[in-house]
Structure 1
Amino acid sequence: MAQAALEAAEARFIANNPLSKKQHELAVGALPGGNTRTLLHTSPFPLTMKQGKGAHVWDEDGHKYLDLVGELTAGLYGHSNPIIRQTILSTFDNVGLSLGSTTVQEHKHASLLCSRFKLERVRMANTGTEANMHALAGARHYTSRRKVIVFSGGYHGAVFSFPAGKAAPNTVDKDDFVVIPRYNDTSLAMNTIKSTPDLAAILVEPMQGAGGCIPGTKEFLHAIQDAAHEVGALFILDEVMTSRLAPHGLGVELGLKPDMVTMGKYLGGGLAFGAFGGREEVMAVYDPRVEGSLAHSGTFNNNTLVMSVGYKALKRVFTEEACGELNERGDRLREKLVEVTKGSKIRFTGRGR
């Protein structure tokens, strides 16, 4: 019965989306599997989107959808915010896209990030993956150690993924990671931290994203932060997704004081962006004025379009007040969903939007 229903649903999907099917068949001729972002692949073929406007998207076959995905927070501003549009145009007309130099725009965005998220210093990157990569390299340089503790279900970027208690096949430097099999298990974390030699850092999300939107308890997060410092390791908080969950980031909301914080997604205003920051002493490992510092290159790290759009989006659109209001609405929606599904096998997890 279930198999027949599944086959009927698939047949309806194919019949209703002929142009998406045709586009997929064309795409596989240039892209492995027809795409360049594995997460978006679905069988028998993914929908091909044609346009986004406001909070909606349309596919090639003309179907309209309410966009509740929000590009996993990178699309927090929707598809046609007027402030972002005007900033893109004014930057293009009056500044230029990539000046190959330090600019006022990168300083303004950096200063706003430091103020908003309580960081002493920050450096820019192009993605959350890059932000975590550079943070880990900095931690290893700062401590002269190699090992990094992470948690099962943790996702820290395209090549830093730890599902089912082990590193994914494409994880880089796999042998340097110690994966704790249970998130939020304080006792297990303490034992592992204290028994791991050569420990450079603990990398953790204050709420696991890919792991199922599991919020870390305040007790758990403070315990591993304190334990990291006891053994001379750095505490790195991955806020690539969670910095949107409170006006100053979830870490500040929970009273944490990480050595480094990684960020990205919506902080580019809808454009590709990543950043890592933290204590001045730690971030000095990337200060080119310091002898023996690490190089941190990237042609588009300070791209003027991203710097300008990211700054305006955070300064004028996703203000502290807007952040609070959005997350309150998200909490209310989740509470209602929990109530209406009580007694079923459906579960809703997370916090905020």
Structure 2
Amino acid sequence: MSATALRRNLTPTDAVAEARARYAAARPESAAIHAQARGRLAGGNTRSVLFYAPFPTAMERGEGCWLLDVDGNRYLDLCGEYTAGLLGHTDARVAAAVARAMDGGISLAGVGRAEGAFAALMCERFPVLERVRFTNSGTEANLLALAAARAFTGRTAVMAFEGGYHGGVLSYTAGQNPVNMPVPTLLVPYNDIEAARTMLRKRGGEIAAVIVEPMLGSGGCIPAAPGFLAMLREETAACGALLICDEVMTSRHGPSGAAALAGVRPDLATFGKWIAGGLTAGAFGGREAVMAVFDGHRPGSLPHAGTFNNNVLSMAAGPVALAEAFPPARAETLFAFGESLRARLNAVFREAGVPACFTGMGSMMTVHFRDPPPDRPYAEGPEEAALRELFFFDMLEAGIYLARRGMVALSLPVGPAEADRFVEAVTGFVAERGPLLRGAA
């Protein structure tokens, strides 16, 4: 019996074990780096999303949309640094802007021209922003947006959605998280219009803000259902709560973000990931009246600390990313490219008759081993979990690097040839693992 036939006859659990063994055998240097790191780093790394058993791959360098690991394995990068790497690994315009900024000094402990210029471009690009402020990350942007909402409304509670992710201390991908900030939070199922409406009408007087992703990112690239965001806009306005759209990931969709595509204007919006061309950055803003709580010209304004909020490197890179590398027209092109790729991938599953699909919007998508496509987060069964892990390892073996959870975030250097390569890899996965996929139905 051939090796391929043997692999087809494995159970999902056995197939994952075999895939892990092949993975480990091809990456001895990554294994050694992880073993050494465990002597000083808790768990051997310092970012949970990058950990997976038996050990994570250690990368050596990146160029364009390609990665090279320490063992010499080369990958097409479809992880895109979880949407932060929108411009790819080696955008010359961003590198030049950062080099010029470094020539003038790194930590100046003052404001500068670039900060205001970046803010003006943000407000022009995203009309929801009447006023904006910068942070170091999307996590911080969401925390400050919630603080602004609580100060402005005089209320304390927040309404969020199951499966939502608003940063490392505002994560609801597995319900209430003990790492989360101790903010009174009312959780509602994502895309459940009636449940959300009922909660707002029943307890709206307690709610300072509703925070929502126009498409769940970490929660499975599940877009908001038609009418869901519009209902939230209507009901929050009626009860006096603020609507915050977390566009840390989805601001790449179309010229002005996913909420604008849906025709919804929130009170506040948050940004991060890609806006400084891959450097650390975040931003939050919206209605002038709400953002005025941070106006230092006003007595009693809220403090907004952060040594690197306006760091010279991110402030220099941001205008280049927004205006040169990813202007609105390029955003529209990328969105259409991603829509086409997702349709091609789903056609592979459909034509093979396997219960699997990619959900998403534009340049972001996530694989699910079920059909029909989910419209909200779900509890994954053991066979589904095994298939997701198997997909990850099989893609690595095929030279495709994506998020461990099966998420893809396209970067600008990814073109038609790279899309064809991914479709071919998924087609091979279906051909080889078809019996396991059909067995999960």
- TM-score by length of structure 2 reads 0.78
2:16 match: 6
- Which digits, 9 at most, give the CA deviation of each residue in 1:116-139, with x for residues without a partner? 001100000000000000000110
Using the TM superposition, name which of 247-256 and 298-307 deviates more. 247-256
Structure 1 residue 102, shift from structure 2 partner? 1.1
Q: Secondary structure at the match of 1:167?
A: coil
**2:280 paired with 1:272:** yes
Structure 1 residue 210, shift from structure 2 partner? 1.2
Query: Which of the numbers 209, 219, 230 marks the counterpart of 2:217?
Result: 209
Separation in 2, partners of 1:133, 1:309: 24
Structure 1 residue 115, shift from structure 2 partner? 0.5
1:289 match: 297
Structure 1 residue 167, shift from structure 2 partner? 1.4
Which letter maps to 2:201?
A: K
**2:261 paired with 1:253:** yes
1:22 match: 32
Structure 1 residue 284, shift from structure 2 partner? 0.2
Which letter maps to 2:355?
A: K
Matching of residues 145-294 of structure 1 within 5 Å: 145-164=155-174, 166-174=175-183, 176-180=184-188, 182-196=189-203, 197-294=205-302
Separation in 2, partners of 1:303, 1:324: 30
Which letter maps to 2:277?
A: G
**2:146 paired with 1:136:** yes
Separation in 2, partners of 1:351, 1:223: 20
Matching of residues 48-59 of structure 1 within 5 Å: 48-59=58-69
Separation in 2, partners of 1:5, 1:131: 41
Separation in 2, partners of 1:178, 1:310: 35
Structure 1 residue 307, shift from structure 2 partner? 0.5
Which letter maps to 2:303?
A: A
Q: Secondary structure at the match of 2:361?
A: coil
Structure 1 residue 11, shift from structure 2 partner? 2.1
Separation in 2, partners of 1:215, 1:4: 34
Which letter maps to 1:27?
A: A
Which letter maps to 1:153?
A: G
**2:348 paired with 1:329:** no
1:115 match: 124
- Which digits, 9 at most, give the CA deviation of each residue in 1:287-325, with x for residues without a partner? 111111100011100011101101111110001111111
Separation in 2, partners of 1:19, 1:297: 41
Matching of residues 56-95 of structure 1 within 5 Å: 56-93=66-103, 95=104
Structure 1 residue 6, shift from structure 2 partner? 3.2
2:438 match: none
Separation in 1, partners of 2:190, 2:20: 36
Distance change >3 Å, CA 314–CA 15, structure 1 → 2: same
Query: Which of the numbers 24, 32, 35 marks the counterpart of 2:42?
Result: 32
Q: Secondary structure at the match of 1:297?
A: coil
Which letter maps to 1:57?
A: L
Separation in 2, partners of 1:96, 1:305: 10
Using the TM superposition, name which of 216-225 and 237-246 deviates more. 216-225
Unaligned runs of 5+ in 1: none
- If asked which structure has higher relative contact order (CA below 8 Å, sep 6+), I would say 2
1:347 match: 357
Which letter maps to 2:181?
A: V
Q: How much identity, in percent, do the aligned residues show?
A: 45
1:302 match: 310
Query: Which of the numbers 101, 109, 115 marks the counterpart of 1:100?
Result: 109
Separation in 2, partners of 1:246, 1:167: 32
Which letter maps to 2:106?
A: L
Structure 1 residue 339, shift from structure 2 partner? 1.5
Separation in 2, partners of 1:27, 1:327: 39
- Which digits, 9 at most, give the CA deviation of each residue in 1:84-131, with x for residues without a partner? 1111111112x3222111110000000000110011000000000000
Which letter maps to 2:194?
A: S
Structure 1 residue 4, shift from structure 2 partner? 3.9
Separation in 2, partners of 1:315, 1:321: 10
2:417 match: none
Unaligned runs of 5+ in 2: 1-9, 364-441
